[in-house]
Amino acid sequence: MKYAIVIEKGKTSWGAYVPDLPGCVAVGETKEEAVLLISEAIEFHLQGIREDGETIPLPHSETSYVEIQTA
């Protein structure tokens, strides 16, 4: 399965989260570390869902960019 992730640059770190898995987040010192950590967080999150006997949510979010001209 492929889940969309959102990666954000903060003042001192990078954060990532999964729109289809509320509460699944990660923070790293670099973008690459944040991506690695969110991958691990997704696996851990899904494992917890399975252990709780719940249904794994299917990915449904998509990403896209919109180009806007300024002045």
Residue 15: what are its φ and ψ, rounded to 5°? Answer: -120, 155
Q: Is the pLDDT of residue 71 over 90?
A: no
Residue 47 lies in a domain: yes
Tell me if 12 is assigned to some domain: yes
Q: Is residue 71 part of a domain?
A: no
Domain assignment present for residue 42? The answer is yes
For residue 21, how many C-alpha atoms fall within 13 Å in the half-sphere facing its CB? 29
**pTM of this prediction?**
0.89
| Residue 69 belongs to some domain of the structure | no
What pLDDT band is residue 48 in, cutting at 50, 70 and 90? very high
Question: Average model confidence (pLDDT) for the chain?
Answer: 97
Distances (CA, A) of 13 to 3, 4, 26, 38: 22, 20, 10, 14
Structural domain that includes position 14: 6-51
Q: How far apart are CA 44 and CA 35, in angstroms?
A: 14
